[in-house]
Structure 1
Amino acid sequence: MHASTDEWLHYFQTNRARPALPLPEPITTLEPALHRALVRALQCFHLGEAGEGRLGAEILRVRDPALDAALREAVVLYVAEEGRHAREVAQLLGALGARTLAGHRSELWFRTLRRSAGHRTKMLTIAAAEVVGVVFYEMLASQLAHVPAVARLGSVIGREEAAHLAMQRSYFERVTSGSRAKRLAIDVAFGAIVSAGVATLAFDHRDLFRALGVTRGDFAMRCAEIARTFTSAA
């Protein structure tokens, strides 16, 4: 999705009115191994969805010629949308009889990287996390289609995460405009972060892959396919 900054602002303003997902009924039909693995994965993703709040404030004051007024406001709305995802994942965890977590080692890795450098590195790290998120939520929608609340959440959030990645692509096209060296540097860094994220998730949530009948190799290949929609930018 190629769009101007005004178009991205309009997208997020419009999507802010997207109805909240219905409060799910208790989910008690999953096999115990799948239930445990799904809860662990959703708890980890909840932390990631809830962890972007600082960026919304920083983006309004940081100096960056790639950020115009419309894009700054769009990023604020983007961060707010991640917060909505966090609330919806928390509701699904409640339906599964589980709570949210205060922290997790895989989310801590991403959070440490985000906070260790400037806002462009934060944006790039979040973009890499969007790749993993798109594929994770796609997997829930397809493999758990028989559990309506899970499939609905996976479909809706997966679609919105794909839009987030497309907006990030638009931002980094502005960052690297006219510089092939900058574009190459961004793509190399992005690929490294995505690879690390995929490897971490595939190891930490191997029980979920097993329970869903999805190989970690297939998951990684789909992540690589989604990542190419970012790195193929000119």
Structure 2
Amino acid sequence: RDAPIFLVLISGCLLLVLALELDRALGPKQIALLGVLGAAMVALRLPGYVAGFSAMFLVVLVGGAAFGPTFGFLLGAIGTFASGLFVGGIGPWLPFQMVSVGWVGLGAGMLPRSGRWRVPALAAYGVLVGYLFGAVMNLWAWPFIGSGTPIGWAPGAGLAGNLRRYLAYYLATSLAWDTFRAVGNGLLVVVLGGPLLRTLDRAARRLRLDVQVAV
């Protein structure tokens, strides 16, 4: 009964934090660019997930890689919220999804921003987060969906016992789906990552954006 209330409260707090970060960290040009890339995420998510994969992750990966970790996190979180409104993806999972996709963009912003290994590193990272995203997202529902089963959360099992249970749950329910996402992320970055990164780099220079570089 209280779940909708907590969903509204958590989502509201998260959106407030994002709004404050937008005001503090980004200027008008960055916010406009964030809106454009966020709209691209919405468009790419409209067809839905194909066996766990969505092309919207490509936008988050290249956006974070081009403009830094702060921009990447905000793009992932805000784009996920906006796309959720359009596809009806509003539920108790949404705050988890916003933060998880935000982390994808944040990590992409910490990768090298130049050199011949830029695209291969981003592709490898895309494969890795394809699995990590699924593993993190499962946590919001695992205690409820798997309750009472040998692979569900057990209050008395301890940390090690519950980790073993969660690993079994993940392998049984999510590994195949996450593999589609991981492979899809890697392939899209290999095929489209180079041209997209060059385009975003040119946009940053023309707009004279102050791109944050992870150190």
TM category (shorter chain) comes to 0.3 to 0.5
Give the TM-score of the pair, scaled to structure 1: 0.34
Give the TM-score of the pair, scaled to structure 2: 0.36
